[in-house]
Amino acid sequence: MDTLPPCPECRSTFTYEVEGTLTCPECGHEWPLAAAAEAGLEVRDSVGNLLADGDTVTLIKDLKLKGSSSVLKIGTKVRGIRLADSDHNIDCKIPGIGPIGLKSEFVKKAT
């Protein structure tokens, strides 16, 4: 713990920690240290397995693709995922469909 993460609000690097809470002196934003350390990159699948870039996951339900009539079938294997810091926290490419974003709660790590 040598360097504290910058403020997610204003990117100030003058953040300081008080009892597990990070505080930004520039904009007054406060956030928990634990969440900052994991900053969107701790992505778990539907059963709680930690996912990593390059993992293969399996869909646990049929997913309708926005703006198309295609449906990703339950059991579809998705290789080479990339974790993303957003609502759809898995970026991947599906053969025949292209790049899409998935939600980690709808997948399970393939073994």
Which residues are 100's β-sheet partners? 92
Give the span between the Cα atoms of 13 and 15, in whole angstroms: 5
Interface of this chain with Zn ion, residues 20 to 49, rule: CB under 5 A: 24, 26-27, 29
Stretch that binds Zn ion, among 12-20, 60-68, 74-82, 91-99 (CB under 5 A): 12-20
Least distance between Zn ion and beta carbon 43 (Å): 25
Stretch that binds Zn ion, among 9-17, 49-57, 61-69, 86-94 (CB under 5 A): 9-17
In angstroms, give the least distance from the CB of 29 to Zn ion.
5
Total length of the chain: 111
With binding defined as CB under 5 A, does residue 10 bind Zn ion? yes
Helix (H, G, I), strand (E, B) or coil at 104: helix
Contact 45, 28 (CB under 8 A): no
Dihedral sign of CA atoms 15, 18, 19, 22 in order: negative
Smallest gap from Cβ 49 to Zn ion, in A, equals 34
Which residue from 4, 12, 36, 91 is in contact with Zn ion, where contact means CB under 5 A? 12
